Amino acid sequence: MSAADPDRAPGTARGGVHKAERHDSALKHTTGEAVYIDDMAEPAGLVHAALVLSPVAHGRLAAVDLTAVRALPGVVAAVTAADIPGRNDIAPIRDNERLLADGVVEYAGQPVAAIAATSLDVARAAAKKVALEIEPLLPVLTLDEALDRRSLLYPPSVVARGDVDAAMKGAPRRLSGSFRVGGQEHFYLEGQIALVAPGEDGDLIVHSSTQHPTEVQHIVSRVLGLEFNQVTVMVRRMGGAFGGKESNASWVAAAAALLAYQSGRPVKLRLPRADDMVATGKRHAFLYRYEVGFDDDGRVLALDATMAADGGHSVDLTPGVLGRALTHVDNVYWLPHVRCTGLACKTNTVSNTAFRGFGGPQGVVVMEDAVGRIAQALGKTPEAVRAVNFYGEGTNDETPYGQKVEDNQIRRCVAQVMRDAEWERRRAEVDAFNRASPVLKRGLGLFPLKFGVSFNIPSMNQAGALVHVYSDGSIRLNHGGTEMGQGLFVKVAQIVAEVFQVDLDRIRVTPTSTGEVPNTSPTAASTGSDLNGWAAFAAANTIRQRMAAFAAIHFDVPEEVIDFRDNRVCVARPGDNRAMAFGELAKLCHAGRVSLSSTGFYKTPKIHWDPATMTGRPFFYFSYGAAVAEVAIDTLTGETRVLRADLVQDCGRSLNPAVDLGQIEGAFAQGMGWLTCEELWWDKQGRLRTAGPSTYKIPGSRDVPPIFNVRLLDDAPAREATIFRSKAIGEPPLLLATAVWTALKDAISSVVDHTMPVHLDAPATPERVLMAVRRLQEIVAAG
């Protein structure tokens, strides 16, 4: 028992795994005591920064005149691309993506220059006085324009299996569809911010609100021409991120660092909400065109789909987003012959980037639209069509990209949610209501989910941790994951508490720092607990084994009978009740010159991926779920309400059920926003006009379903060797909101007794719902 066993039942110490512990900063969040970067004490000599943004979407940058601005009282530094000592390149995965525009501007809102001044007001006022000379060029502003002009960021990507053309030709039935989904603003509570302080010998300390401290380190070093060891990046917490602080945060920190380098003074750059929204990337909007062949039972025989993603003006993280979308088109369905083509379109808009789900949400909607159309064509229910297409167990169980579906929980999740939602009874009630109500209509929608968990790039699936046990038995934990409100810190602390069998309050988690744990992966792709949890386990377990070996000598017993439980270290054999407090053993170990510090490392096994053939095993495992949503629509105004939602989510053996429930509820609400009310709108000049809460609507408390039932799937430990058999929770539940979209289409279809297919783009705003209703009514009126 000297080593901890991740499959062993949790111990009795307060705060181990599988227990509903509160978020480590919960009280601070509610009282306002939680310290974010803008709350930190400002170092002596700090100056404030502001960005100069391009007012046009595309043009030749002929001149940037900073002469008058540099002469303004209080202005300390003013920089353009010409002042960058290193490379003007902030690309996270490829190259030639500019920090500051140089020679050409690519979107309205692109940073052109940056100002530092003794006060924030002076800096922002000075930024408005910068004279820009831009010769307009013809922009590409929409996906349709990009497709017409074949404006692509890189060549098409294809996931394919079988003979699609032959299978489609031989299918008894065929139909085609086309629709689109919009992008989404991250709308984190804490905006983009960085505080950079110069140190000795050209070193920099960077406080960044980032999901990826190592990328911030690399980008800052690249822009300034420094080595990585000269830049230390730290983050205690973020006020939300949702993917928007993965690559975006890096260039914000680099801009602040450039000004610190030029001025020799600490610099704080925080973007006002409007600048944040126009200058930073968002969820990719997609346009879909597909053809599906099927038989009289609704069984899909072939799918040929094209997915055009709006990447914006540069590559950013689009290859990963589009790749994940392509590997999620199948969702829970066996597709014997399939060809999915992904087009990364280049437009003169902000470079779109990571967002919770990272392409998965945009991938799964293809088959959901197809299922609805197939059901309507055959006079069947969508539920019946789904059921005949589910992945099998032992047969029809391989994805189009070659990965086996080995831990299939699809049917179980669907059966559970339909029981919880009382599907049969409520289906009859909704149908009866619709027959009696000419204006208000209700809809019931189901959505089943299979979501792959791991980074698309295998090399990113690694993590490190550092654990110290002090001689009083207190424990210090550091790891490469970042805390953005999702509860990662408390989960990893629970893992360490479980290893040592001590109370959770003995663990102190310190700010994430590239100076403590180097070469980290981003906290993204729902892998935070999987990766950092195992790394922390490894570090803690190394120390535990050293302590156990020392205890065995102290008690003069074999090492295997030393056990850790309930804050004590015991001799676990009959008739021997010797024990000591954990802190007492730590003190003895220190006196005995036993190292009580260790690093830990973890790399995800089994995964591999060939980007040329788009085949392999990109995911360590799949997470499953299912949702039922009930909605009401007003056919005269298009107004909608979500009346009830029932969710079942596969969390494996949850590390912390309380945190996981919160993640599920929040993700579902955010997914609702993407599919119903969060609309990004650019004018004909390419300027974002929904640049604040007055014009961009995120879900509010009144938008959350008044009946909202969430269940963690019972008795479903992960099949793969995940940390304590848990599963990822950050992203999968967002996709469950697709049930709201299917429910809206069900309600709209009831206007014509479900006799015609419904075309409904997302977000399904009142205008789009009303247009969909009117379209059906006009078809009926025309005979």
Instruction: State mean pLDDT over 739-760.
Output: 95
Q: In this predicted structure, what is the pLDDT of residue 379? A: 96
Closest CA to 130 of 185, 70, 74, 90: 70
Please report, for residues 197, 334, 448, 563, 614, the alpha-carbon distance to residue 391 in angstroms, rounded to integers and kept in the order given. 54, 5, 12, 44, 20
| Cα distance between residue 713 and residue 475, in whole Å | 33
* Helix (H/G/I), strand (E/B), else coil: 473: coil
What is the SS3 string spanning 125-152? Answer: HHHHCCEEEEEECCCCCCHHHHHHCCCE
Which contiguous run of DSSP H or E holds residue 452?
strand 440-453
| Cα distance between residue 622 and residue 619, in whole Å | 7
Instruction: State mean pLDDT over 676-691.
Output: 98
| Cα distance between residue 451 and residue 1, in whole Å | 36
User: pLDDT: is 754 or 743 the higher one?
Assistant: 743
Confidence of residue 755 (pLDDT cuts 50, 70, 90): confident
In terms of C-beta distances under 8 Å and separation of at least 24 residues, what long-range contacts does 775-783 make, across chains too? 776/748, 776/749, 776/751, 776/752, 777/751, 777/752, 779/752, 780/752
Residue type at 620 in one-letter notation: F
**Residues in contact with 422: Cβ distance below 8 Å, sequence separation at least 6, in sequence order:** none
Closest CA to 281 of 308, 254, 321: 321
| Cα distance between residue 637 and residue 218, in whole Å | 51
Could you give phi then psi for residue 778, rounded to 5 degrees? -70, -35
**Residues in contact with 386: Cβ distance below 8 Å, sequence separation at least 6, in sequence order:** 332, 333, 371, 414, 446, 448
Which tens digits make up the pLDDT trace of 523-569?
A: 999 999 999 999 999 999 999 999 999 999 999 999 999 999 999 99
Please report, for residues 54, 555, 656, the alpha-carbon distance to residue 302 in angstroms, rounded to integers and kept in the order given. 46, 68, 41
CATH number assigned to the domain covering 424-442+622-783: 3.30.365.10
Confidence of residue 12 (pLDDT cuts 50, 70, 90): low
Which tens digits make up the pLDDT trace of 59-91?
A: 999 999 999 999 999 999 999 999 999 999 999
Which contiguous run of DSSP H or E holds residue 195?
strand 193-198
Q: In this predicted structure, what is the pLDDT of residue 469? A: 98
* Helix (H/G/I), strand (E/B), else coil: 97: coil
Instruction: State mean pLDDT over 489-493.
Output: 98
Please report, for residues 20, 139, 382, 488, 618, the alpha-carbon distance to residue 337 in angstroms, rounded to integers and kept in the order given. 45, 38, 21, 40, 20
Q: In this predicted structure, what is the pLDDT of residue 5? A: 75
CATH number assigned to the domain covering 26-34+462-603: 3.30.365.10
Work out the mean pLDDT of the chain and round it to a whole number. 97
Please give the DSSP secondary-structure letter assigned to residue 561. Answer: G
- DSSP symbols for 606-647: S-EEETTTTEEE--SEEEEEEEEEEEEEETTT--EEEEEEEE
pLDDT beyond 90 at 140: yes
Which one from 135, 483, 731, 767 is the annotated catalytic residue? Answer: 731
Confidence of residue 2 (pLDDT cuts 50, 70, 90): low
pTM of structure? 0.96
Tell me the two tokens of residue 177: 């569809």
pLDDT beyond 70 at 11: no
Closest CA to 145 of 356, 350, 310: 310
Closest CA to 449 of 380, 346, 364: 364
H helix runs in 457-527, sequence order: 488-500
In terms of C-beta distances under 8 Å and separation of at least 24 residues, what long-range contacts does 558-564 make, across chains too? 559/2, 560/1, 560/2, 561/1, 562/1, 562/2, 563/1, 564/1, 564/4, 564/11, 564/499, 564/500, 564/501
Instruction: Express as a percent the part of the chain with pLDDT over 70.
Output: 99
CB atoms within 10 A of CB 259: 29
| Cα distance between residue 428 and residue 444, in whole Å | 10
| Cα distance between residue 349 and residue 107, in whole Å | 5
Q: In this predicted structure, what is the pLDDT of residue 13? A: 57
Using N-to-C axis directions, what is the helix angle for 423-436 and 410-420, rounded to 10°? 60
Which tens digits make up the pLDDT trace of 434-452?
A: 999 999 999 999 999 999 9
Instruction: State mean pLDDT over 359-380.
Output: 98
Half-sphere exposure at residue 492, Cβ-oriented, CA atoms within 13 angstroms:
37
Q: Which residues of 580-615 are buried (b: 16+ CB within 10 A; e: fewer)?
A: bebbebbbbbeeeebebebebebebeebebeeeebb
Confidence of residue 10 (pLDDT cuts 50, 70, 90): low
Could you give phi then psi for residue 742, rounded to 5 degrees? -70, -35
* Helix (H/G/I), strand (E/B), else coil: 466: strand
Instruction: State mean pLDDT over 39-44.
Output: 97
C-alpha torsion angle, residues 705, 692, 360, 107 (rounded to 10):
160
Q: Is 393 a catalytic site residue?
A: no
Could you give phi then psi for residue 513, rounded to 5 degrees? -150, 135
Tell me the two tokens of residue 325: 């979308």
pLDDT beyond 90 at 1: no
Closest CA to 18 of 474, 567, 504, 475: 504
Which contiguous run of DSSP H or E holds residue 173?
strand 173-181
Closest CA to 212 of 527, 505, 491: 527
CB atoms within 10 A of CB 641: 16
Residue type at 310 in one-letter notation: D
Which tens digits make up the pLDDT trace of 189-218?
A: 999 999 999 999 999 999 999 999 999 999
Q: Which residues of 179-193 are buried (b: 16+ CB within 10 A; e: fewer)?
A: bbbbbbbbbbebbbb
| Cα distance between residue 783 and residue 776, in whole Å | 11
| Cα distance between residue 400 and residue 391, in whole Å | 12
pLDDT beyond 60 at 371: yes
Confidence of residue 6 (pLDDT cuts 50, 70, 90): confident
Helix, strand, coil percentages in the chain from 3-state DSSP, rounded to 5: 35, 25, 40
What region, left, alpha or beta, does residue 473 occupy, with left being phi > 0 and alpha being psi -120 to 50 degrees? Answer: left
Instruction: State mean pLDDT over 100-121.
Output: 98
8 Å CB contact between 388 and 298: yes
Please give the DSSP secondary-structure letter assigned to residue 658. Answer: H
In sequence order, the β-bridge partners of residue 291 are 176, 304
**Residues in contact with 460: Cβ distance below 8 Å, sequence separation at least 6, in sequence order:** 521, 522, 525
Q: In this predicted structure, what is the pLDDT of residue 753? A: 87
What residue segments make up the domains of the chain, in order of their start?
26-34+462-603, 424-442+622-783
